[in-house]
């Protein structure tokens, strides 16, 4: 008898619940490659205009206050800039741990922290702390 847990099935359930109850948001990871390799301190030309990754996904929002999400493992300064958490399932086209920005309708929100619920190699859910 095996006690192995089927995390793939859990990930599918998480994604289906978020798809059914969430709304579409755009998650962006800014381009961080310097425009001039000889001057890396100048950074990229336009990290938001030409992002490294972007994806439209479903997300469910909860207020940070009272949720307990992130409060044990995120530094106090990040928590001060965070007012809600967006829960996103594993179906994104890139690793959301690299996300910098989230667009909800027409509102641009800064990603202040990302926690990944990932037992073993299977991502079940991302928690993105967001602030304006």
pLDDT by 10s per residue, the chain, length 132: 456 788 898 899 999 999 999 999 999 998 777 777 787 777 766 666 677 788 999 999 988 765 555 555 566 666 667 778 899 999 889 999 999 999 999 999 999 889 899 988 899 999 998 987
Q: Which residues contact 24 (CB under 8 A, 6 or more apart)?
A: 56, 57, 58, 59
Q: What is the pLDDT of residue 4?
A: 76
Q: What is the pLDDT of residue 20?
A: 94
What CA dihedral angle connects 76, 77, 80 and 85, to 10 degrees? Answer: -80
pTM over cut 0.85? no
The tokens for 7 are 């995390």
Q: What is the pLDDT of residue 99?
A: 93
Q: What is the pLDDT of residue 1?
A: 47
């Amino acid at each position: 008898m095996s006690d192995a847990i089927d995390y793939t099935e859990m990930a599918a359930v998480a994604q289906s619940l978020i798809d059914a109850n969430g709304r579409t948001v755009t998650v962006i990871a800014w381009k961080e490659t310097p425009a001039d390799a000889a001057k890396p301190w100048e950074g990229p030309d336009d990290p938001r205009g030409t992002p490294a990754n972007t994806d439209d996904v479903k997300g469910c929002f909860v207020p940070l206050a009272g949720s307990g999400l992130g409060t044990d493992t995120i530094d106090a300064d990040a928590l001060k800039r965070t007012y809600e958490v967006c829960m996103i399932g594993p179906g994104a086209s890139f690793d959301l741990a690299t996300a910098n920005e989230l667009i909800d309708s027409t509102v641009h929100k800064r990603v202040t922290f990302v926690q990944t619920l990932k037992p073993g190699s299977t991502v079940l859910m991302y928690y993105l702390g967001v602030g304006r």
